[in-house]
Chains A and B, each alone.
Chain A
Amino acid sequence: MQTKAFRKTYTRIERITKATCVVKAGNIKYGELAWINDRPAQAISVVNDLVTLQVFGGTEGVSTQSKVIFTGKPPTLEVSDLLAGRFFNALGQPIDNGSPVSGEERIIKGSTVNPVNRAKPNVLLATGIAGIDLNNTLVTGQKIPFFADPDQPYNQVMADVALRAEADKIILGGMGLSNDDFLFFKNTFESAGVLDKIVCFINTSEDPSLERLLIPDMACTAAEYFANDKKEKVLLLLTDMTLYADALATVANKMDQIPSKDSMPGSLYSDLASIYEKAVQFQHGGSITMIAVTTLNEGDITHAIPDNTGYITEGQLYLKRDSDIGKVIVDPFRSLSRLKQNVIGKKTREDHPQVMNALIRLYADAMDAKTKKENGFDLNEYDVRCLNFSKDYAIKLLAVDINISIDEMLETGWELLQKHFERYEVGIKEEFLNKYWKITEEQTA
């Protein structure tokens, strides 16, 4: 592609920064893909005859006399069924020693789905993890990130979710993925025997960092092909979006843009939304469900990246190490699935919403009791019961290593409530108490 002879070439590079260069050129369209020394670049500002290019491959070694070849079109991906089972780099070129995929060429920053053509997402996506299915139930067409510190096993949990969810295709967009993690995903998918339904776009930490700007759009284009053209259920995994945002900030900085919060570009919200909003439930049944990873610094979710993400995505899953039980749990307070209301108590058992809320409210009481204890106060009898409950709850329902059905989760929930509390303490509608609370003889105060 980059050597086609009829393309206009220019050699007057006027300015070079670490991420961009400015070239004198005429008739260039905004967003056009170009090649500098065989490195991909894109026009991100055109003023008179000066074109500013963001150079995905980095500008190391670019000289004022380097050759710039314009392709006349924005970055594209050729889509077809042959994408399945393949591994590509950020430009859609194979990295698995296979031959290039040919198919219909599509611009990777595709159009927006007309909201009136979306369907309301209401198909349950079960994962077997109670911290997700019980407290933060997912549905197809949802977009949700894991907010996790770098030392937490987010990639493992994400792979678990991917394999247990019933998806027709799993598309992985890896940004700044360590080679080890890349191999982990590859091996996990291989040993699960699902390689034929995987498509991977990978930018490892060894690749040029700005190339990862293309990964989400490439992955979304492939996802849209399978979800819309083929009407399949697609699960799209993006890890790690923090590194993607860092790359955005680099380019904005080199363009002399005034940074907003945390040195991030002012357009961060829109940039992230253009990716996450590709999650969709089509009326014809196809869907794109997006699970992403946003790594945090010491759990700080007020940083611009997780903060903007949280406003875009339909909830967030928050992993946390529970030192009382020595396991990683899905934090029931900070985690949220906004779309759970579409399925809980409707597609799942009627008592689901109330049981879920009761358990979390009591867990909150337990945390208050814990604070009290840490401050050296005497605990009352209720506090002690709460603390005992919280340990049980964490082990049996919050830990990420759980794999049971939602009905089993609800049964476990009722067992815990009855073991530690009285009817009047749980705040559940009487109708459900009468049905699910098993009254025993010794329960008279």
Chain B
Amino acid sequence: MTTGKVKGIISNLLLVEVDGPATQNEVCLVNAGKWLKAEVIRVQQNIVSAQLFESSESIQIGTEVRFTGKMLEVELGPGILSKKYDGLQSDLEKMSGTFIELGDSTSPLDDDSRFSFEPLAKEREKVMAGHWLGNVKEQNIDHKIMLPLSWKGSFTVKWIASEGEYGIRDVIARVEDQNGVEQEVTMVQKWPVKVPLRGFREKLRPGKIFQTGLRVIDTLNPMMEGGTGYIPGPFGTGKTVLQQAIAKNSEADILIIVACGERANEVVEIFSEFPNLTDPVTGHKLDTKTTIICNTSNMPVAAREASVYVGMTLAEYYRCMGLKVLLLADSTSRWAQALREMSNRMEELPGQDAFPVELPATIANFYSRSGIVNLYNDESGSVTFIGTISPAGGNFKEPVTESTSKVARCFYALSQKRADSKRYPAIDPLASYSKYLDYLEFQQYSDENIQKGWVQEIKKAKDILRIGLEARDQINILGDDAVPIDYHINFWKSELIDFGIIQQNSFDDIDMRTEMDRQKYMLNFILGLCNTDYEFEEFEQVRDLFKNMINLVAQMNFSEYKSDSFMKYEGQISDLINNKSGSYANQGIS
């Protein structure tokens, strides 16, 4: 193996003089009392630039370096769920001490853990990489033990373990390759994180809705299984709250959260809440389907880049088992900044805002790893990816947002103005979009599974919002009196959709999650109110009536679906409309 000596230290960039071959993205180990991991990011003759995944203090000129010949890898096998990893897949709970000390590294899986194995493959069966050899119960999901995804060619199963309990490193199958060489398979395999993990037959065009329980997403800007989305927003507009709301309410089988360069207290919140929260879909505790990768903002910067790739690789691994995986990364901007810091230290010519010029390609490649796929056995699995972006100064005209907009299909724009007036989630209903609304696949799916013409109904709601916004601008320019009453009606119809559908209280037990059924009911109900003809004498009456309706719709959202109080509020709304000549002031009081 190649060895080398440190020749230069510029923050966490090391210049290493090597005595043999070196590979781009190879992991090398630096002797600082403990062996510290670094990754090769440039080679110039016999000088290798490596980014150290730790702090450089204590390293000096001449420090010994060993090259491993391998790229940064993750370990895949049963036991990943409910783990809390650092950016390099070290299990944080196995570390001793209050602080993470230099060079602390622990094993990702529990080496002495045992799982009850049930064979799926038969002897003499022909298998290839990704084929399911057996099944173990990991928490509440069926974890498939696959022929290692990195193996090439086809194999014949010579022996497979019978049903029973095995350690994760016990041999559970022996297979023979085309040359007659026998190989052993255990429950554990490895994969280099920067290489997309395939293991599927084909990628499909998304078209099946991925429910998040949030009305502004599911109803107005739906996400698809295997789709991509991004949430840019200035600080304080609720990116993290929104992402956590999606995490808590989505219909994913597996949830992988990458806390990339963000606040430690936010992961602590997940740590402390998820074990107590119930997954609304399965009824199990939320942490049993969740893995968290945390490289918080004070953890080593270079590991930020690694952390998003580790998260994606874990997601792809579970996709190969035919599962619906949701991957959340908060925030991809921090990852881009880590790339920028390193590019700057290497004195590369900068692109826009000093980001490296290859940033758009890097982001596009990453988002493209998500998707819905068909496996070899016609099962399907998916990785749905939603990333947040923290644009500098809240301005979306910056390289990370722009690069992402070219690859991600759903755009959830958080608006400072909505956040200021506490209209949460602060997703701007008009700037945001879901390109899936135009997918024929989704139109067909929604016609069959939601209601006929669903996409048209969504577009109607968006039109009402757009017209309402224009009306508001006119009212603001011309004054209340100077515009026709219709303008007021149009404006208040859009407010009704805003308060009734878009706004949602993620801290209220009932309102935080809305089932598709109920979303359909509410959209039809509110569109019905918007399609009603109203007659008013003066514009003040418009406000009074609609404020009353908005109040009642909000009370409906706070009530159990179709419960007595839900129906009572609905009834009060029809009463309001039927005798709107009376006084509205007391109608809200029951």
Nearest Cβ distance between residue A178 and chain B, in whole angstroms?
Answer: 29
A109 to B390, CA, bound (A): 27
Residues on the A chain within 8 Å of B583, using CB: 445
Cβ-based interface call for A102 (8 A) = no
Residues on the B chain within 8 Å of A433, using CB: 589
Nearest Cβ distance between residue A8 and chain B, in whole angstroms?
Answer: 13
Contact of A316 among B97, B236, B340, B479 (CB under 8 A): B236
Binary per-residue interface labels of chain B (71-107) against chain A in the complex, 1 for a CB within 8 Å, 0 otherwise: 0000000000000100000001101011111100000
Residues on the B chain within 8 Å of A307, using CB: 235, 392-394
* Contacts of A360-407 to chain B: CB distance below 8 A: 360-361, 364, 371-372, 375, 377-378, 380-382
Contact of B585 among A259, A267, A314, A422 (CB under 8 A): A422
Cross-chain pair count, CB within 8 angstroms: 218
Residues on the A chain within 8 Å of B57, using CB: 29-31, 74, 107, 109
Number of interface residues of B (CB under 8 A): 81
A336 to B233, CA, bound (A): 15
Cβ-based interface call for B440 (8 A) = no
Cβ-based interface call for B516 (8 A) = no
Known: A44-B11, A115-B268, A257-B344. A424 touches B585 (CB 8 A): yes
A304 to B391, CA, bound (A): 11
A112 to B56, CA, bound (A): 14
Q: Which of A114, A120, A121 has the most CB of B within 10 A?
A: A114
Say yes or no: A29 contacts B334, CB within 8 Å: no
Residues on the A chain within 8 Å of B272, using CB: 119-120
Say yes or no: B298 contacts A228, CB within 8 Å: no
Say yes or no: A430 contacts B555, CB within 8 Å: yes
The stretch among A56-64, A84-92, A161-169, A270-278 that forms the contact with chain B is A270-278
Closest to A46 in B: B9
Cβ-based interface call for A429 (8 A) = yes
Residues on the B chain within 8 Å of A103, using CB: none
Known: A117-B98, A282-B98. A377 touches B56 (CB 8 A): no
Residues on the A chain within 8 Å of B584, using CB: 424, 445
Residues on the A chain within 8 Å of B589, using CB: 423-424, 433
Cβ-based interface call for B377 (8 A) = no
Known: A274-B298, A312-B297. A118 touches B235 (CB 8 A): no
Residues on the A chain within 8 Å of B101, using CB: 111
Say yes or no: B58 contacts A260, CB within 8 Å: no
Say yes or no: A424 contacts B551, CB within 8 Å: yes
Residues on the A chain within 8 Å of B185, using CB: none
Nearest Cβ distance between residue B134 and chain A, in whole angstroms?
Answer: 32
A430 to B552, CA, bound (A): 10
Q: Which of A44, A304, A316, A427 has the most CB of B within 10 A?
A: A427
Say yes or no: B344 contacts A111, CB within 8 Å: no
The stretch among B206-214, B259-267, B362-370 that forms the contact with chain A is B259-267
Say yes or no: B393 contacts A47, CB within 8 Å: no
Residues on the A chain within 8 Å of B420, using CB: 333-334, 364
Say yes or no: A46 contacts B60, CB within 8 Å: yes
Known: A47-B15, A315-B236. A119 touches B551 (CB 8 A): no
* Contacts of A116-157 to chain B: CB distance below 8 A: 116-121, 141-142
Say yes or no: B392 contacts A46, CB within 8 Å: no
Nearest Cβ distance between residue B536 and chain A, in whole angstroms?
Answer: 14
Residues on the A chain within 8 Å of B507, using CB: 341, 353
A424 to B555, CA, bound (A): 11
Contact of A445 among B102, B294, B353, B586 (CB under 8 A): B586
8 additional A-B pairs beyond A304-B392, A424-B551, beta carbons within 8 Å, are: A46-B8, A114-B99, A115-B296, A117-B98, A118-B265, A311-B390, A380-B539, A424-B588
